[in-house]
Amino acid sequence: MTFHDLSLIQPLLTAIERVGYTHPTPIQAKAIPPILNGQDLMGCAQTGTGKTAAFAIPILQRLTLKSRPEGKRKIRTLILTPTRELAIQIEENIQAYGKDLDHRHAVIFGGVNQHSQVQQIKNGI
């Protein structure tokens, strides 16, 4: 199986190639299709198996293909993580996968000055 077999849009395929992925890992091959179809999914895999790509890539595709509501930008996806480090890692991956897409994203966590984070949310990220 290749990423092309997963019916991903070209900007995501380009990003996947740019980050050096050649074939989906087992968790990606199993998770991407149901998420693309709008199904909920709970997956479990070891560290380093591509779990972030398994959920981030189809989320980005769904956001790209779904029209945005008119007016002020609103938050359309929220990803919760147990640690600040994981939140930053996921944000970096989303930035890499979505480089050629017109999406804004932000990582928000506690323990720091919240002013800029609050402003990002008020401005629609």
- 69 neighbors 82 (Cβ within 8 angstroms): no
CA Rg, the chain, in Å?
Answer: 15
pLDDT of residue 4: 96
Mean pLDDT over 86-104 rounds to: 94
**Which regions of 1-125 does DSSP assign to beta strands (E)?**
none
Q: Name the token pair of 13.
A: 């395929």
Which letter does DSSP use for residue 5 in this model? G
Q: Name the token pair of 47.
A: 């560290």
d(CA 4, CA 59): 17
**What confidence tens digit (pLDDT) does each residue in 31-70 have?**
999 999 999 999 999 999 999 999 999 999 999 998 777 7
